Amino acid sequence: MALINIRHLRCNIFGRISALYKKWFGDQPSTTTEAGLQLQIISRDKHNISRKQISPNAIKVLYRLHKAGYKSYLVGGGVRDILLGLDPKDFDVATDATPEQVKKLFRNSRLVGRRFRLAHILFGREIIEVATLRGHHVEDNAKQSKTNTSGRLLRDNVYGSIDQDAERRDFSINAMYYDISDFSIRAYGGALQDLEAGRLKLLGDPETRYREDPVRMLRAVRFSTKLDLHIDESTKVPINRLAPLLKDIPAARMYDEALKLFFNGKAVANFDMMQQFDLFEPLFPTLGQAIADAPNGSADRMAQLVMKATDTRVMQDKPVTPSFFYAALLWYPLSERAHEIANEAGLNIYDAHFAAMGDILEQQCQRISIPRRHSTPTKDIWQLQLRLERNQGGRALKLLEHPKFRAGYDLLLLRGEIEGGRVESLANWWTELVEADEGQRRKLVRKQQPGRKPQNRRRRKPRSNDSKTKTESKARG
């Protein structure tokens, strides 16, 4: 059988590889697990996954576990992405060693997680995540497994075999294991067939799996857009109805999920699909409500512009920051709240904006926990929107030196594109100032200075000669 060469395939050509799939995998025998899950084992001579394609640090972890007598596998996205010709960002390891046993083997490790205990092995900035193979829940042992009334897993520290672990995986395309002991691939649940068909499908009953972990609904969106997969109908149907379950997910976990959704070059596609499945409002309640109240309104247009700008910067390998992302997304909910406070409390709009900042961030952080290192700059960017309106005199030149000026200016440009009129004129003036040299900047600033009224100075009358003579006489005495 010919050697598999999926390295040069890309995720947007799934429909063209049917014949090749049959050539590579068609004659591979399959068995079933005790739970009835299909299993295919592809030997080393039938695939082209090489250790050179795997992170050297992940290889170190796999071999040390293997030499210590434990089973160890590269699992999930690392296997999937290599088969699809992509460069994996993460290399996760599964083993039959418990987290405590992993920690004893690796001094550079730490144990994390309450819901599911994991070992993180640190190699500088790279983290290799090691998970113990999961098993089926035992209802009478609350210390190992626990669910709430809606079916969400609160604790999931039940260990088992590789077959049981595969049954616990979310999507079939993630139920693939690269065995370091013989370099074979173990593919469960029709993983290879789903890859060939460009299909994203949950393992098990979709509603049960979503209730166990509602974040799987967001992962369905992310995998679909990232890998150009269509979501299987059975996997798709329950999402709109179960979307409100995301409100109960810890806000700290949702912060990481938001980064994966919007900072990987697929923000526009993810935003559109999240709107389609009613998944956006549970993450952004004030913004989601504003968009629902006024489709194609200012808040909606801002969200679309921010997503597009974020994708552009990612594609150009430019930095993207959560502080600007949240400042821009939440600007119109902030403005609306500021006007409400101004009317209710009789405050001026400047003080009302300061009060509204706390309200909007507090509401947002209940769903997505924004660390202070990002929330503080977000407030700075909001404050700059008011300060940029005061573009008269030397204060305009001083604002150019503000550490968050560029972010504030970028938000003003987006506002000008949406609002037009006075805001657009203001944005254009600041653009002239930013692009001008020092001499031109002084001229622009002088034009903005209010005209000075001429001062009426009183002219002193010249003294007469007689007065001068009298003064000299007195002096001589």
Beta-ladder partners of 202: 171
pLDDT band at 47 (very low <50, low <70, confident <90, very high): confident
Catalytic residue among 90, 351, 359, 410: 90
| Residue 395: predicted pLDDT | 81
Question: Which helix (DSSP H) or strand (DSSP E) does residue 387 occupy?
Answer: helix 372-387
User: Of 243, 184, 180, which is closest to residue 217 (Cα–Cα)?
Assistant: 243
- pLDDT at residue 140 is higher than 60: no
| Residue 118: predicted pLDDT | 92
Report the b/e string of 142-154 with b at 16+ CB within 10 A: eeebbbeeeebee
| Residue 45: predicted pLDDT | 86
User: Per-residue pLDDT tens for 158-167?
Assistant: 788 999 999 9
In this structure, which long-range contacts are made by residues 245-248, counting pairs with CB atoms below 8 Å and at least 24 apart in sequence? 245/150, 245/152, 245/210, 245/211, 245/214, 246/214, 246/215, 246/217, 246/218, 246/279, 246/282, 246/283, 247/282, 247/367, 248/150, 248/152, 248/214
| Residue 149: predicted pLDDT | 57
pLDDT band at 460 (very low <50, low <70, confident <90, very high): low
| Residue 444: predicted pLDDT | 85
| Residue 463: predicted pLDDT | 58
Catalytic residue among 81, 156, 170, 311: 170
- pLDDT at residue 39 is higher than 90: yes
| Residue 117: predicted pLDDT | 86
Among the residues of 26-70, which ranges form H helices? Answer: 56-67
Q: Which of 45-54, 163-172, 441-450 has the lowest mean pLDDT?
A: 441-450
DSSP annotation of 159 reads: B
Share of the chain above pLDDT 90, in %: 69
Instruction: Among 3.30.460.10, 3.40.50.2000, 3.30.70.270, 2.30.42.10, name the CATH number for the domain at 11-204.
Output: 3.30.460.10
92 has catalytic annotation? yes
- pLDDT at residue 458 is higher than 60: no
- pLDDT at residue 238 is higher than 60: yes
- pLDDT at residue 304 is higher than 80: yes
| Residue 27: predicted pLDDT | 56
DSSP result, 199-221: EE-BSS-HHHHHHH-THHHHHHH
Quote the tokens at residue 383: 């404050």
- pLDDT at residue 280 is higher than 50: yes
Break the chain into its structural domains and give their ranges. Answer: 11-204, 301-448
User: Of 247, 300, 238, which is closest to residue 275 (Cα–Cα)?
Assistant: 300
With contact defined as beta carbons under 8 Å apart, do 303 and 271 qualify? yes
- pLDDT at residue 338 is higher than 50: yes
| Residue 316: predicted pLDDT | 95
- The residue among 33 and 172 whose pLDDT is bigger is 172
| Residue 2: predicted pLDDT | 37
pLDDT band at 154 (very low <50, low <70, confident <90, very high): very low
Whole-number mean pLDDT of the chain?
Answer: 86
pLDDT band at 84 (very low <50, low <70, confident <90, very high): confident
pLDDT band at 6 (very low <50, low <70, confident <90, very high): very low
For domain 301-448, give the CATH superfamily: cca-adding enzyme, domain 2 (1.10.3090.10)
Catalytic residue among 81, 92, 163, 232: 92
| Residue 60: predicted pLDDT | 97
DSSP result, 18-47: HHHHHHHHTT--EEE-TT--EEEEE-GGG-
Q: Quick one: how far is CA 72 from the chain centroid? A: 30
Cα(278)–Cα(244) distance, integer angstroms: 8
Cα(144)–Cα(155) distance, integer angstroms: 6
Q: Which of 78-87, 89-98, 130-139, 363-372 has the lowest mean pLDDT?
A: 130-139
Share of the chain above pLDDT 70, in %: 83
Quote the tokens at residue 352: 């009302």
With contact defined as beta carbons under 8 Å apart, do 268 and 308 qualify? yes
- pLDDT at residue 17 is higher than 50: no
170 has catalytic annotation? yes
Cα(75)–Cα(185) distance, integer angstroms: 10
